[in-house]
Structure 1
Amino acid sequence: MNYLKNKWNELRTYINRRELQFMLSVSFTLVALVGMVFIGAFLYQSYGRAAEEMMFNDNRQLINQVEINLNNYLRNMMRISDAMYYNVIKQVDMKTDDISQELDLLYEVNKDSLVSVACFSEDGELISAAPVGSVKKNVDITEQSWFANARDKMENLHFSELHVQNIFENSNGRYYWVVSLSRGVELTTEGKMSGGILLVDMNFSGIRQIFTEINSRGVGYVYLVNSEGEIIYHPKQNLIFSNMLKENNKIASQYDDGVYEETFQGEDRTVIVKTVGYTGWKIVSVTPKKELLQDFSSTKLMAVIIVILAVTLMVFANQFVAVRIAKPLKKLENSLKGIGVDQQPDIYMGGSLEIQHLGQTIRSMVDQLQRLTDDIVREQEEKRKSELDALQSQINPHFLYNTLDSIMWMIESERYEDAVAMVNSLGKLLRISLSKGKNIITVGDELQHARSYLDIQKYRYKNKFTSFFDIEEGIEKYRTIKLIIQPLLENAIYYGMEYMDGEGEIHIRAYTSGEDLFIEVEDNGLGMPQEQVERLLTENSETRSKGSGIGLKNVHQRIQLYFGTEYGLEITSEPDEKTIVRIHLPKTEEITPGEGGNRL
């Protein structure tokens, strides 16, 4: 369990380190692969069900396409009816105006889908028609179902069942299968309103063409019935009308929209029903189960091919999408690298609208941050300068007091030459200590300060210790903050040499390593246990020097305040043998405020 958890954490760490483009591409591809693997496994485990689902989806798409095409066809007929009614009939007076020309024009424009257009009075009298102009003598228009429906419900549009329209005189003796669209209209005669019927006969060939094209695809067949279950179109309607073939159309007309499993004449089949708006007609798709199983073997091969192609295409598509998404973000990321380096970084503001807005927002934020940073830097400079000055101010009073006390003691003892030499060394020490108010001096000056300090202490501690300087050539030119060696020497003398009777040694070494500079102060005094070493840089009371009053912690803090927390003091000690205090500084010849970690 722990092994899997560790591996999971390693994987998460690896993923988090990758670029966005890689993550998007891999994520999309993995999602696609997982989906395809599941699909492939499902297809391999149940080919029959897969084939059924595939055929079902195909037929559902086909039936949706039939509905769209049929709706377009019917809406076109409705627009023709609306155009005739609202643009012609309602604009004329039947007593004085003739609408035959408008009917002829409307018919000519739409003759590919129309058989005839006619307008009747509420008594069944023909007012005008195109392309024919008279009704058969033995035909009673008022008995026609399309006429009666329109007359009874004047406000609605009415679509009839499929029938042969033979009410008009036809010179060529040819009659067409049609679906009639009828509606009640208001006729104006000498300013008076009366009822009428507008008839638009749709050529059934248009509907047949829609269904013939669809039935040429896929498995099974699609037919059309009205709300009463009467067949409007069936690919085998001649056989059905001649009672040579049966269809479950009456039951299908009672189905709501959806998918049904049924058994008809001993045959299991899947039926999909879709209702056509405005008419109540139902599109019925029938797929026999035996046809679904005929392509069992080909379905297996097709599934494998589809999975392979889909994965391949998905990989390329995912890569393309990932590049399109990640490239502008990558440019924006690269432009953000200038923040903190350039005073005015060139923020990328291309790509999509969202990325452009993000770039503009970041630019505005960078400008504000730059102003705030400048203010903070100035405040921090003043604050740290005050901190350094406060730490520095601890040195001079204590050290001067102890040194002047020693000079006074020499004068009282009439050791005038020693007193003069000590005053001379003190002068050199104070010159470097003051440094015209500067905190930064050269390593050479700091080492000279250490020599002057040791000269003074040697007068006070005759034969107590001997000092040795091991200085790398050329190191004097580098820069350091002042008065960091003296406290180390004080601690070496007061704690290392105090209880020794001669043979005390203090070694001062200065050397460089790479980009770092080190100054070591080593004494062969009593040393100290590790517990005390660990407290030296964290506690005040036990680590203050008896000489200047400034302890190792003070020096450590001053170095870190200026150069950063990666620099400072390192202490190693062995009881009864030695103590080494190492100063770690950056190797630099020029130091300007603001460089490095927390520098001023």
Structure 2
Amino acid sequence: MNLSFRAKISLTIITVSMAITCVLSMVFYQQSAQTVQENYTQAQMQQLTACAKLFDNTMLDAYSACMYAVNDESLLESIQEQDIDKISEQLDVYRNKNRNIDSISCYLPSRQILLKVNTNGLTEFQVTDEIAQTLQQLLQENSGNKLSPVYARDATSVTQDNLFFYSRKAIAFGGEELAQISVGVNEREIFFRCLQNESSQDTERFILDGDRILSAADIYSLNTQITWPDSGVLVTDVAMPTTEYHIVSIAERSQITEPLRIVRNRILLIAGFLNAAFAVLIFFVVRYLMKPMEELRSSMQQVSGGNLKVRAPVYQNDEIGQLSQGFNSMIAQIEGLIEELVTEKMLKKEAEIEALQYQITPHFMYNTLNSIKYEAILQGAPNTAELLEAFIELLQLSASDRGAFITVKQEMHMVQNYVKLQQFRYADCFQVTFDMQPEAETCYVPRLLIQPLVENAILHGIDHRKRDNQIAISVLCDNGALAIKVEDHGEGMTPEEIQKLLDGQRKSKFSGIGVSNIRERLRLYYGGKAELRFYSEKGNGTTAVILLPISYDAEEYTI
């Protein structure tokens, strides 16, 4: 039965749809996890609200004790009389009325002493500069009607505990400042009452003032900035209405959803066994249905690799069969068109490169020059013979048919011969330095690539009236590229002059190959992998740089 391709695909989709069980399991897990997290957050909000209320009530008790003490006429009278025993007895009464208070102290400025009453009884301290500074800070931060306590270390405690303080001035009826009353609640007491009793193993709770930790399980983290965790946790934050602090709980999501993950994994395991059984059937069904498509795909890959002789087999007259027939017909047409196009393009490129590269081919010239050279030697003119030898080598390399690419060493040898001729011509008014890395010597470059740049530097870059002109030629391998640089210290060029040079308006006088010719050959051989750049400023010389791929094969980029 010849089924349509659409019917075959539909049958395959129906068979494979059993894998939806896995998706449903994941959706169930995600929704369940979200519900669990919402319930957990709601429960945490209720617990934290209760904790916040307990904390506020504790602080309000401490605040009330402080306000009652500074307005207690009997205590004020004892302070005026400087009766230490009475002051300590009355302070102890306030502390005993509220067991949440850790300590209550009275600072007597006239005598520079601090009376402190806590569970250890009365302790009298001589006020040092540190204690005085702490007391003054407490008084400043507790000024006004602010109900938030001041969080600070107890300077009079050996263990330097952290306390929540309320501090007020005790003022006589006449306006005289008699003393400073301070009530403190220990941070550890707050933690065990408000946080520890409600904490679970996988939850951390903090009391924060902004990002500063006031109370937490880790005492070493107190009075430091909290580091907020990433998205892998649940954060619940409740503001305390009275004291303006925040109580925060942080729990790992993975711990909260652990039971759900176990259920999810069991479901996925069962679904995995079922799908494994169906996979065998699906495999054979899909294999049968997709065989024509696979063969068509294989044919397409071979065509993309350059094999235009391949043809896709045609099994049936369904949609895939019709597609294969159309593909075969298209490839046959493309094969014919490409053959015509390649032939025309190759002929065109060969003609372009031959016209660009072989500008001088009269072999008889260097044969005649050889005769002149030997005559110069017989006549006792070795310098003339050396110059003729350099010129002959230059002509031989230019006119030879050894290929479009030569090694950097050969190219540089030709440039050196060219430099000798030009130095003779211009009476040694310039010097040329050559710097070539050893690993660059065997790299292949297009013939006559460097000489036009050197010629341009000699003819247009230097001042022939001076005797100290310098030209530097360097070739090196840098980051996978071959860098060729020709630098002169001449008069330089403006951007407009550089553009004219690149456009071919300035030609080489020796070979007829100008800068635009170099750019064209780089484009033909390397495409976008090579480039020619000029860097110049008027009066600061010119640097020409060629960047092209490193190649140790003369045929790699030959067209």
TM-score range, shorter chain: 0.3 to 0.5
Structure number with greater Rg is 1
For normalisation by structure 1, the TM-score amounts to 0.39
